[in-house]
Amino acid sequence: MNFLNAHAVNLAYRNDKFRLALDSSDYLLRDGAGVEIALRMCGKIVGDNNNGTDLIPELLSALGCRTVSVLGSTDQVIDDFSHWVFANTDLRWAGGLNGFDYVTSDYLSAVKLWHPEVILLAMGMPKQELLAREIKEAFPNLTVVIISGGAILNFLTGRELRSPKIFRNLRLEWLWRLANDPVRLSRRYIIGNVVFLLGVLRLKIKFWALKV
């Protein structure tokens, strides 16, 4: 399960491997107003908005007593998340590896050892989506739910606060995150959003030209 937002579209435009990883998703969910704008401009069906920060906790709670592992984030966050799992879900802990000290083969070895039924990837784009595809290809007979969660562990463990509800209702959660972490997110949200909208406009013009 992967999520498609404006940042993902920008990355996919210049990263063929990432685009193929998204294309291979069993579920690719629209996340954010940017992709909605793009779909409307191109005359496509918009569908539901699926914000991972809201959806993933509900999904984890609904998965019953399956085993879960985490690949990504830091050791401390993983440890704190394991406590969140015990307190808020019926999931059983399988193990975790941080996203900094290991390579792909290490993560694949861990999956082979643990046989988790749920894998939460917390590495950010595009690393987590690429790893999700590697896992699917390496273990085609493994029944597992793989979720690309990005910064979800930071929210669930209280390291990063959600925006006030009014921001979420106005679809301005990105602005809240930008204001609270401008150094890291300014390129993604300021430059990235402009690049995304210009790309959508070019696509719209291309569709219009084909119809003429």
Q: What is the pLDDT of residues 51-74, one digit of tens each?
A: 888 999 999 999 999 999 999 999
User: Does the residue 81 lie in any domain?
Assistant: yes
pLDDT by residue (tens digit) across 186-206? Answer: 888 889 989 998 988 888 887
Contact 85, 160 (CB under 8 A): no
User: Does the residue 102 lie in any domain?
Assistant: yes
Instruction: Report the C-alpha gap between 128 and 181 in whole angstroms.
Output: 21
What token pair was written down for 27?
Answer: 């579920």
User: Does the residue 137 lie in any domain?
Assistant: yes
The CATH number that applies at residue 157 is 3.40.50.10700
Which pLDDT score, from 0 to 100, does residue 21 have? 96
Of 210, 165, 171, 208, residue with least CA distance to 193: 171
User: Does the residue 212 lie in any domain?
Assistant: no
Q: 9: domain range?
A: 2-162
CA angle 205–207–211, rounded 5-degree value:
110
pLDDT by residue (tens digit) across 98-113? Answer: 999 999 999 999 999 9
Element (H, E) at 155: helix 152-156
